Amino acid sequence: MGKFSQTERDGHLFIVTIDRPEVMNALHPPGNAELAGVFDEFAADPELWVAIVTGNGRAFSAGNDLKYQAAGGDRSGQPAAGFGGLTSRYDLNKPVIAAVNGIAMGGGFEIALACDIIVASENAVFALPEVRVGLAALAGGVHRLPRTIGTKQALGMILTGRRVSAAEGQQLGFVNEVVPEGQAVEGARRWATQILEASPMSVRASKQAVLQGLEMAGVEAASAGRYPAVAEMVASEDFIEGPRAFAEKRTPNWKGR
């Protein structure tokens, strides 16, 4: 257990809980640095295939700890991996699911947007309110949100800082599933279970191809791209095990290598 976070291992699943409930899980550089180390651990461990990130208490994360910043707190320890140790982590091919259990504001919303799937409790609230305090959502928010829901809808949120419910978030397209209050982690676990039924090599290859392909101009260029995780998938034991298990009408025994 860390000072600002908790972690749990459940087989191939890794659950990360932001643990600063006294400030609605707002994060400062020491907290971001700790979470960067947590996700370094997830990225490096071959036995961890899927991660869930959530918050302790009634918030996912209220974003940047403005009171810490205003009080002149030390900001020299901000990690290269970005806010929450995730927003600038562009080389992570393992899937991460956000279990948004309450408020996800500013950097908190940017952490969720940096995840691959967002499961939100019905009481969750999302916003990028930085413009209201003289800042901008530069931890990926101004770039990820338009790519997720389109420019006009994203600007409608970014330029006003308005709050969006879980239900509207699903309608706009950045929330995958809305679940009853208190069940965000359980909902995220269901998604993780489905992902864990697939080959982790195929999952990583697919995520890398999607995200890197989106940086290219058109489907033809993206299809012609060279993705290291795809090469690793083709060279893996799982690439043989999958078709073999299908032919033998049994559940695959994935190795993740």
Strands 59-61, 50-55: pairing is: unpaired
Q: Quick one: pLDDT at residue 190?
A: 98
Which positions are annotated as active-site residues? 110, 130
Q: List the structure tokens of 110.
A: 């940017």
pLDDT tens, residue by residue, 188-221: 999 999 999 999 999 999 999 999 999 999 999 9
Q: Quick one: pLDDT at residue 70?
A: 73
Q: Quick one: pLDDT at residue 166?
A: 98
Cβ 31 vs Cβ 79: under 8 Å: no
Q: Quick one: pLDDT at residue 73?
A: 63
Q: Quick one: pLDDT at residue 36?
A: 98
DSSP string, 148-186: HH-HHHHHHHHTT---EEHHHHHHHTS-SEEE-TT-HHH
Displacement of CA 219 from its chain's centroid (Å): 25
Cα first-last separation, the chain:
29
Ranges of residues in the chain with a pLDDT under 50 are none
Q: Where are the beta strands (DSSP E) in the chain?
A: 5-10, 13-18, 50-55, 59-61, 96-100, 103-105, 117-121, 125-127, 164-165, 177-179
Q: Quick one: pLDDT at residue 69?
A: 74
